[in-house]
Amino acid sequence: MTALAAAVRPRAFGSERLLAVDPGHGLVSQHAFRELPSLLSPGDLAVLNDAATLPAALRLTSHDAELRLATREPNGDFLAVALGAGTFRTPTEARGPAPSFAVGDRVRSGSLEATIVAVDPNDAALVQVRY
């Protein structure tokens, strides 16, 4: 595991959230993840999202790409996952490759500018940005 990947820490066990959709009855409900076994019946489909990101995605105007913020470091930097062309509505597997960033590269999202301060040597899509 790389330094950047290790820094994207999972939540404390038991704090995970779960959204349950019952299309047959038009119901949507929120639960603790530990309730999952009691919500499933034979033949049900479970879709899990294990992307450890914050609810923040920055559409880059400097690149045809998006940065999804994963966690904030104590010094204020953000660890982020770079995604290729597309929007949050584009399935991840249908997006183009992430741009190749290097330390010192500047990125922009509207009027917000940031600097890439680290790039994971094993996965160039994992970057650390400083705003």
51, part of any domain:
no
49, part of any domain:
no
47, part of any domain:
no
Of the candidates 113, 117, 118, the one whose C-alpha atom is nearest the C-alpha of residue 131 is 113
Check residue 91 and give its pLDDT: 82
Residue 31 and residue 78 in one domain:
no
- pLDDT truncated to tens, each residue of the chain (131 aa)? 444 444 444 445 556 677 787 778 888 888 887 888 888 889 888 776 666 566 678 889 999 899 988 888 889 999 998 999 887 788 878 888 889 899 999 999 988 899 999 999 888 889 999 98
How far is 104 from 129, CA to CA, in rounded Å?
10
Check residue 3 and give its pLDDT: 46
45, part of any domain:
no
Q: Which domain holds residue 19?
A: 3-39
Residue 67 and residue 97 in one domain:
yes
46, part of any domain:
no
Instruction: State the total domains in the chain.
Output: 2
pTM of the entire structure?
0.61
Residue 34 and residue 79 in one domain:
no
